[in-house]
Chains A and B, each alone.
Chain A
Amino acid sequence: MFIDVIRDFWASTGFVALTWQQLVMLGVACLLLYLAIVKQYEPLLLLPISFGMLLANLPLAFLMGEPIYEIGKDGLPHVKQYGGLLYYLYQGVKLGIYPPLIFLGVGAMTDFGPLIANPRSLLLGAAAQFGIFTTFMGAIALGFTGPEAASIGIIGGADGPTAIFLTSKLAPHLLGPIAVAAYSYMALVPIIQPPIMKALTTREERRTKMEQLRPVTKTEKVLFPIIVTILGALLLPSAAGLLGMLMLGNLFRESGVVDRIFKTAQNELINIVTIFLGTTVGATASAEKFLRADTLKIIALGLIAFSIGTAAGVLFGKIMYIASGKKVNPLIGSAGVSAVPMAARVSQVVGQKENPSNFLLMHAMGPNVAGVIGSAIAAGVLLSIFG
């Protein structure tokens, strides 16, 4: 009798139902938690993502479970069992709600001043998007379908919310690996970029000093988000969600009349959404979706995407260096891959190593924020083609 109770209880625990694949996933989740906590790789996102992964791979917890309906006597579906906690939170990802909300906060935190002061840096932000499309081609060659290849390529945009937004629309089954790849590589930008930047530039080019940026008037700063929204959304209606929210957040900031909501957008709101987004994106990485050969391919392609984006930015920087009569330092080109503000900081560090009196940070912020706009537009193009 007593033995039976114990046996029943044991059978109801997760230990019995645990598969080896789930065990491996728990190991992966713990490794990512280690990277987030001890190594501090993008901890604000990697921590919730890896914990979501942990939760989703605990058997019988049913956290990502969909609700079950049954047809009642009246012929209408009735809920037999409600879905799991993470299932409902995940709807914000699935329906494309969280990424634009994150962009609202990003817009509130971003100063587009350096970009307005030097409009040509927009070109660098465009050139770095080349990584997206090269990787897209690579993914097709490896046998991924069009929508899958587009989602993998967008890792090269180095922009987490954009990558999640596009993937949730085009290839939701790849969301876990793509999010993990995108955020891991963003954390590794200081390691991936410098060797590429050094290999493609000469010492003289790296030592180039740039003129100080002109000050930007408030009128320009207020008009900028409005113009970008109108122009961007008319040209690419599919990018309107991301671009519109980014620019609304920025208008909160620059208008100076909505201090309270500006503060909420860049602090509380973005933090709350980050928790939901990170946890549920991690929870999509269930064992059967994550432990596949495709995941390794995606992680390899992601690295290629980052590297080519960086290289394309630097090479375009070299073109501008020559075209401008040696006034543009090609190192700022690599910041075009977005990954704000990490990539801009890398330009600054690499530049300062060659010439300690050189300050490239503000110059690199131009291509850096242009990269955010560029990858949102690239996502819009891919969405309108494959969506």
Chain B
Amino acid sequence: MFGQTISFGEGLLVTALGMGVVFATLIALSYMLDLLRILFYKEPKAPIQIVEKAPVLEEPAKKENEEELIAVITAAVAANLQTSTHNIVVRNIVRIGDQSPTWNRLGRMEQMNSRF
């Protein structure tokens, strides 16, 4: 379009064209994304309140780790329910003893160890 050397005015033209194309493309893209959201995304319902019973590790959690533990469990529950932690209110966490038969437990342990 231009020769080797270009004047300042031609440079301004290139700038206007360049910024114009960049903006136009990205604006078009952002509307495309809005369309995607309308088509494929459903708003989650109002905050789900769940009292979660989560099995955790056998050894008792130490006092100073409790907050961290609650945060981790909340995050895990949120991930599992595919929602945000903001939609979950943790009221109580109860540890459930492992009542599965020994054979199951052994099988599970073998499975886990084989992944290392």
Answer yes or no: do A and B interact.
yes
* Interface residue? A287 (CB, 8 A): no
* Interface residue? A227 (CB, 8 A): yes
> A137-B11, A212-B84, A220-B40 known; A146 and B31 CB under 8 Å?
no
B33→A119 contact, CB < 8 A: yes
**In the complex, what residues of A have CB within 8 A of residue B37's CB?**
116, 119, 220
* Interface residue? A378 (CB, 8 A): yes
Segment 72-101 of B: residues with Cβ below 8 Å from A: 82-84, 86
Interface size in chain B (residues, C-beta < 8 A): 37
* Interface residue? A353 (CB, 8 A): no
Interface string of B1-43 (1 = CB under 8 A from A): 1111110101110110111011101111111111011001100
A123→B2 contact, CB < 8 A: no
> A141-B8, A145-B4, A214-B41 known; A381 and B29 CB under 8 Å?
no
Q: Provide the bound-state CA to CA distance between A130 and B22, in Å.
A: 10
B21→A377 contact, CB < 8 A: yes
Chain A nearest CB from B33 CB (Å) reads 4
**In the complex, what residues of A have CB within 8 A of residue B84's CB?**
212, 215
Instruction: Kindly name the residue among A212, A227, A381 whose own CB sees the greatest number of chain B CB atoms within 10 A.
Output: A381
> A215-B83, A231-B25 known; A385 and B2 CB under 8 Å?
yes
Interface size in chain A (residues, C-beta < 8 A): 46
A122→B29 contact, CB < 8 A: yes
Q: Provide the bound-state CA to CA distance between A220 and B33, in Å.
A: 8
B25→A235 contact, CB < 8 A: yes
Which of these, B21, B32, B86, contacts A212 with CB under 8 Å? Answer: B86
Q: Provide the bound-state CA to CA distance between A377 and B24, in Å.
A: 11
Q: Provide the bound-state CA to CA distance between A133 and B44, in Å.
A: 43
Interface string of B35-74 (1 = CB under 8 A from A): 0110011001000000000000000000000000000000
**In the complex, what residues of A have CB within 8 A of residue B18's CB?**
129, 132-133, 136, 378, 381-382, 385
* Interface residue? A223 (CB, 8 A): yes
A133→B14 contact, CB < 8 A: yes
**In the complex, what residues of B have CB within 8 A of residue A149's CB?**
6, 11
**In the complex, what residues of B have CB within 8 A of residue A140's CB?**
6, 8, 11
Q: Provide the bound-state CA to CA distance between A125 and B84, in Å.
A: 26
Please give me the 4 A-B residue pairs with the lowest Cβ-Cβ distance, nearest first. Answer: A119-B33, A119-B30, A133-B15, A126-B26
Q: Which residues of A contact B (CB under 8 A)?
A: 115-116, 119-120, 122-123, 125-126, 129-130, 132-134, 136-137, 140-141, 145-147, 149-150, 212, 214-217, 219-220, 223-224, 227-228, 231-232, 235-236, 370, 373-374, 377-378, 381-382, 385-386
Other A-B contacts than A235-B21, A382-B18, A386-B1, 18 sampled, CB-CB below 8 A, are A115-B33, A119-B34, A122-B29, A122-B30, A136-B14, A137-B15, A146-B5, A147-B4, A149-B6, A215-B44, A220-B41, A227-B29, A231-B28, A231-B29, A232-B25, A236-B25, A378-B18, A386-B2
Q: List 30 A-B contacts (CB under 8 A).
A: A119-B33, A122-B26, A122-B27, A123-B27, A125-B26, A126-B19, A126-B22, A126-B26, A130-B19, A137-B15, A140-B6, A140-B8, A146-B3, A146-B10, A146-B11, A146-B14, A147-B4, A215-B44, A215-B84, A219-B40, A224-B33, A227-B32, A235-B21, A373-B29, A374-B22, A378-B18, A385-B2, A385-B14, A385-B17, A386-B2
